Amino acid sequence: MKLMPSRPNVEAKAAPARQTGAAMITIDRVSQVFRTSGRREHLAISDISLTIEDGAFVSILGPSGCGKSTLLYIVGGFVSPTEGVARVKGKAIRGPGPDRGPVFQEFALFPWKSVLGNVMYGPRQQGVKSGEAEAQSRALIEKVGLKGFEHFYPKELSGGMKQRVALARTLAYHPAVLLMDEPFGALDAHTRTRLQNDLLKIWERDRKTVLFVTHSVEEAVFLSDRVVVMTRAPGRIKQIVEIDLPRPRRRSELLLDPRYQKYVVDIEGMIDDTSEDELRP
């Protein structure tokens, strides 16, 4: 048992997770070239190397079109990189797998399944018995704040509720890594804030490794242990900022915290630096 990398427990919340976690994801000199319709090659991301430790919450931040989602898709195994290799727990990623659970901006729920059916889908696929899967799923639905909506169809839910279902559906099959691709990008400001708070609450309880893609500086600083700032296309890592703010974080306290404010201002400056001159035709 001692040989296993120990997961940080809740009692040890003073110590940042990344100090105790072993490498969960390693991205090694990864580049991605897309062929556009005019047979032109478009370099989406270039030569990215990054290590994400077990239990760390890492945000990828950058302007739209900087390839930050591409990086997440590569880790998810949905896209294979043109060059370089991404690994999860030391094993090269060759495709999607239940150890990496995605949550997309588009929700991507199964519309023919009820809320409960959606959340149960992963456990059932993994061979969990129906009764047990249902009990676990009901508990998760309650955890994301949707108790009472078990038998609703996605069509009947608001955007924020859909994203709660998507999060529960992914958590249900216990992925080691959560891959969140601008999950709150399609939501209004109020709903977005509420979901950030709830995500943080859930995450601070079980500390899964999270790779979180966003273009909101405040969101990245509020949630993350570390913010990876990317340049415009082709996406490269411009700077990595460790967010040394205490957890559990509370929005009301954090917004008044000068350290938080400084992180936001600093990182906004980094993004402004990579302006028009780096845009290529």
> Using the rule CB under 8 A, which residue among 67, 81, 175, 235 binds another protein?
175
Q: Is 259 helix (H, G, I), strand (E, B) or coil?
A: helix
Taking contact as CB under 8 A, which single stretch among the options 20-28, 34-42, 76-84, 226-234 is the one that binds another protein?
Answer: 76-84
Residues 6+ apart with CB under 8 A from 68: 60, 61, 62, 213, 215, 230, 235
Residue 109: CB minimum distance to another protein, A: 8
- Site residues (CB under 8 A) for another protein, limited to 128-157: 153-156
CB of 236: closest distance to another protein in angstroms?
Answer: 25
Residue 49 in contact with another protein, rule: CB under 8 A: no
Q: Are 206 and 101 in contact (CB under 8 A)?
A: no
* Residue 234 binds to another protein (criterion: CB under 8 A): no
Is residue 183 at the binding interface for another protein, with CB under 8 A as the rule?
no
Q: According to the binding rule CB under 8 A, does residue 96 interact with another protein?
A: yes
Q: What angle do CA 189, 59, 27 make, to 5 degrees?
A: 150
Q: How far is the CB of 63 from another protein (least distance, A)?
A: 22
Single-letter residue type at 269: G
Rounded (5°) CA angle 10-143-131: 110
**List of residues 6+ apart from 170 with CB closer than 8 A:** 101, 102, 103, 122, 178
By CB under 8 A, name the one of 21, 55, 81, 122 that touches another protein: 122
Nearer to another protein, 19 or 126 (CB): 126
Identify the three-state secondary structure at position 223.
helix
Cα radius of gyration (the chain): 19
Question: Among 81, 101, 234, 235, which residue sits at the site for another protein (rule: CB under 8 A)?
Answer: 101
Contact footprint for another protein (CB under 8 A)? 76-78, 95-98, 100-102, 104, 106, 108-113, 121-122, 125-126, 153-156, 158, 160, 169-170, 173, 175
